[in-house]
């Protein structure tokens, strides 16, 4: 099944991503998260940046797909990988996390799908300056299972800017600099300021290119998924560096 808005993303090197956001890897982090991953799908375990008890940034393991603390079971996680930023503060599933449990999901880039007729074409989206992306995220802890607490998260989305609107009407909320990350994570940032951050990046911030439909199947995971690809010729790559 082809996912919807921000349904796949890339974490090539979690240690490098942590360094880029001045965060430390937790000592109990699942070591499998340190492996390069080029096709992370909903309900996967991912690296997420938050503040520890001392107020320092740390990278911890969470499952992608938020499970509210009051949920009877964790089965609905795949339906809540994203939350609309316009309504998250008021929705029962996200309201408390918006107030108290904010995080940043670091990524090298993400995939989005455009549709022409009955055909969906995957695109890879990354920053034009080559730096990593930081998705504004919410997290929760669910204690309804028998295996200890389950930590889960979701990505906030906003209306697409002109660049993203070419392929989708929504975009992940991206924290594009250090001060934005600081404001989002800080418990002292007023709610009105947090709402003001819920928008797409400025024009020129992103590069988008079509990539192979192999990304549609989560079993495919490797750097070849990011190779330039020309959908008109079905398999022939376009010239290197010709990001659209």
Residues labelled catalytic: 6, 112
Rounded Cα–Cα distance for residues 236 and 213 (Å) = 13
Determine the Cα angle at 191 with ends 187 and 193, to 5°: 100
Query: Could you give the 3-state DSSP secondary structure of residue 105?
Result: strand
Rounded Cα–Cα distance for residues 184 and 179 (Å) = 9
Which phi and psi (to 5°) does residue 180 adopt?
A: -65, -40
DSSP state of 174: B
Helix-strand-coil split of the chain, %, nearest 5: 20, 35, 50
Rounded Cα–Cα distance for residues 35 and 21 (Å) = 19
> What residues contact 169, with CB distance under 8 A and at least 6 apart?
159, 160
């Amino acid at each position: 099944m082809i996912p919807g808005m921000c349904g796949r993303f890339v974490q090539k090197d979690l240690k490098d991503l942590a360094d880029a956001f001045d965060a430390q890897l937790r000592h109990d982090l699942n070591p499998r998260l340190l492996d390069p991953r080029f096709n992370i799908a909903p309900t996967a375990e991912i690296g997420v940046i938050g503040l520890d008890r001392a107020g320092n940034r740390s990278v911890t393991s969470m499952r992608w797909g938020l499970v509210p603390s009051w949920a009877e079971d964790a089965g609905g996680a795949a339906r809540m990988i994203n939350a609309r930023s316009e309504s998250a503060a008021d929705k029962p599933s996200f309201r408390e996390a918006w107030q108290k449990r904010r995080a940043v999901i670091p990524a090298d880039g993400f995939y989005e799908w455009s549709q022409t007729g009955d055909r969906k074409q995957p695109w890879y989206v990354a920053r034009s300056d080559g730096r990593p992306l930081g998705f504004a995220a919410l997290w929760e802890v669910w204690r309804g299972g028998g295996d200890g607490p389950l930590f889960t998260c979701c990505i906030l989305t906003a209306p697409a800017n002109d660049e993203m609107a070419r392929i989708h009407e929504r975009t992940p909320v991206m924290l594009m600099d250090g001060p934005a990350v600081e404001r989002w994570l800080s418990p002292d940032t007023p709610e009105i300021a947090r709402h003001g951050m819920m928008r797409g990046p400025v024009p020129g911030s992103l590069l988008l290119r079509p990539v192979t439909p192999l990304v549609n199947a989560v079993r495919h995971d490797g750097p070849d998924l990011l190779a330039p690809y020309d959908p008109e010729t079905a398999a022939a790559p376009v010239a290197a560096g010709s990001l659209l």
